[in-house]
Chains A and B, each alone.
Chain A
Amino acid sequence: MGMMEMGRNPKFHPIFSLTSKGREGCMKSSLDIVPALVMIVLSLITAFGVSSLDYWSQYTPGPAFAPYWIAAAGLVLSILLLVQTKLSNSCEKPDWPGRSGTIRILMTSFGLVLILILSSYIGMITATLIFILYLLLGILRRKLVPSLITTLITVALIYGVFVGWLRVSLPKGPFGI
């Protein structure tokens, strides 16, 4: 249906759509509501987090001055976004990936947390090596030989640049690297 048709047909008029059954779907629209709600929570945390600090001391704004105003701005903007969402007839929702895409993202995020934990125990270089292999072979299902070559090149590059050139002392594991 073209835009012109939507405009002329009362069923598709924005006002009608707000009062019609479709409105329920719009009210569930999470594209704007979720960020607004998250911002309300963050604003409250910010305001609460500085509540024990001075807002003003003699002629100078205190350490709580800016955080309070920032929290207030966050609250105002969140409410504005909520109102805007309620008034609009948009039913947009985030474009989430399919099942396989979601699994890949979750598994990669898990791998990122794993590299963080493992770095302290087996060293950052070894953890990185395991992570790259996990990503290439386990998640992306790439062929063994190119994956091994890619892993070795990447790890060698990281070792050469950060340890060899920049002399960064990366967390070491039992293998001494």
Chain B
Amino acid sequence: MEILGFLMDGFRGALTPMNLLFVFIGCLLGQIVGALPGIGPSAAMAILMPLTFGVPPTTALIMLSGIMYGGMYGGTLTSVLINVPGEAASVMTAVDGYQLAKQGRAGAALSIAAIGSFYGGVASLTAVVFLTPLLSNFALKFNAPEYFLLATMGITATASLGSGSAVKSLMVGVFGLMIAMIGTDPMVGVNRLTFGVMELMDGIDFIPVAIGIFGIGEVLASLEDRKDFVVLKTRLRDLWLTAQDWALCRMAIVRGTVVGFFVGTMPGTGPTIASLLAYAAEHRASKHPENFGKGALDAVAAAETANNAAAQGALIPMLALGIPGSQSTAVLLAALLILGIRPGPMLMSQQPGLVWTLLASMYIGNIMLLIMNLPLAPLWASILRIPYDYLMPGIIAISLVGVYATSLSLFSVGITVLFGIIGYLMLKFELPRAPIVLAIVLAPLMENSLRQSLMLSSGSLAIFVQRPISAVLLLVVLTTLALPIVRHIRDRRKRNSFDE
């Protein structure tokens, strides 16, 4: 009951005209960013972060989170209408969504995706509302050793649970930690890795790195191939679902919510993996698995429900522990730090107004997005006809001016350009970009907690196993490191038996 009281207070805060306006702006930007191929929600959040400096922190976070979950709704449009995922989490939607569009059922695909996203988002958010305070209360028992291990887990879990090579993911995480080491040592005050460059004494900020790697890097990649997309048509009356469609999709939506929420709560996973797993789970559970890949409406429902459920589920580790669960929540966490708010278990007790207003705003945002995506879907489809070429220069310009606005230094703009090129090369060498962001955000917590722990124990590493919670966390960290090895051995065995 206490939680409901807090949530009601949150609604009072979220329903102020200013906050409502920024929920709308955030959702609108998320919808547009999600719909446009070439730039994802994390990039947009990083690029637009400087714009929020003129508003109170709660309002800023409301807008940034609106971009985060709005992107999940918007990504469906491009997947269904032009067979190009607007953002990574909509990849599986493109598989069946575009087939449905070719069969003249684009409206049904968009409709079920919007409804599924809404259901998944609201259900997942409700779980966040009830579970976050419990986890947060438990985490109040944490001390330096636990924080060090939690931060380490944030990086190792990305490698272990993410798709692609675990070694590469960890390597990128280490690269992020190296960047975070540049600057003045927080405890002793001496310069580290600055190599005599004065501008590096304050360290390399998160914003230039994130904007460069995600924003500029993605824009450069989109310059490789310039295609004029053919946008399939959709009409308002096509959005109506038949009773048969409902019967087919209702359980897919429920399953997608469950898969999405649980995957989202695990650090290092995020909406893309959630939608992949939900698609695979639905393929197994469906009465018509033969339709998958040929235009299965339940496949679209499961994938779209899961990505939005995961986007909101990822808030649990971020709000309760201060550990981002995904790329987008890493940007959100960085925003908290930049706005002068200390994340972690104390956040809920020290800043209840901020947390509950943010959560309440997300309910409102999901309703806004449902309205934007159901009756207004044909309008969004017409936006896709604007050539991306006309938007690209604007994205770069806003990115660079935004970076200057946060630091008032052209050196930071130079860092952004450098990391833009690095981001592009990372895409080419198939290096995941999420671990770099997570590492930069988590590095100060990781290093300070490690040094505090070793001070407490007079240099003994036994402190990490003597405390029960830290022992469990250490086990989890070791498991996340061992998992890829086990997976590698299992795959090798499978391959060998397949060859024989």
Chain B contacts to A: CB under 8 angstroms: 50-51, 53-54, 165, 167-168, 170-171, 174-175, 177-178, 181, 185, 187-188, 190, 192-193, 195, 216, 219-220, 223-226, 387, 389-390, 392-394, 396-398, 400-402, 404-405, 408, 410, 413-414, 417, 420-421, 424, 428-431, 447, 450-451, 454-455, 458-459, 495, 498-499
Contact = CB atoms under 8 A, between A and B. Distances in A.
Majority SS at the chain B contact face = helix
Q: Which has the most chain A C-beta neighbours within 10 Å: B216, B404, B458? A: B404
Contacts of B190: 53, 63
A78 B431 CA distance: 13
Contacts of B459: 56, 59, 61
A117 to B, nearest CB: 9
A92 B165 CA distance: 13
24 contacts: A7-B499, A8-B499, A32-B429, A39-B171, A42-B178, A53-B192, A56-B459, A60-B187, A60-B454, A61-B451, A67-B178, A70-B181, A77-B167, A92-B430, A97-B224, A101-B224, A112-B216, A128-B397, A136-B389, A155-B397, A157-B398, A158-B397, A158-B398, A170-B404
A119 B430 contact: no
Majority SS at the chain A contact face = helix
A49 B226 contact: no
B168 A35 contact: yes
Contact of A96 (B188, B428, B430, B498): B428
Contacts of B458: 59
A18 interface: no
A161 B51 contact: yes
B164 to A, nearest CB: 11
Contacts of B455: 59-60
A67 B400 contact: no
A81 B396 contact: no
Contacts of A95: 428
A108 B6 CA distance: 50
Given A109-B220, A116-B414, A154-B394, A169 B408 contact: yes
A66 interface: yes
Given A35-B168, A59-B455, A108-B223, 18 more contacts: A31-B429, A35-B429, A59-B459, A60-B187, A81-B167, A98-B224, A108-B396, A109-B417, A112-B400, A116-B410, A120-B410, A132-B394, A136-B393, A151-B393, A157-B398, A162-B405, A170-B404, A170-B405
A84 B175 CA distance: 19
A8 B175 CA distance: 41
Contacts of B188: 54, 57, 62-63
A66 B181 contact: yes
Interface string A110-148: 001101100110001000100110011001101000110
B175 A66 contact: no
Given A73-B174, A166-B54, A46 B400 contact: no
Contacts of B410: 116, 119-120, 171
A39 to B, nearest CB: 5
4 interchain residue pairs of minimum CB distance? A97-B224, A63-B185, A101-B224, A132-B393
Contact of A61 (B220, B387, B393, B454): B454
B397 A105 contact: no
A170 to B, nearest CB: 6
B171 A46 contact: no
B192 A49 contact: yes
A28 interface: no
Contacts of B219: 108
A168 B447 CA distance: 34
Nearest to A135: B393
A27 interface: no
Q: Which has the most chain B C-beta neighbours within 10 Å: A63, A120, A151, A162? A: A63
A168 B224 contact: no
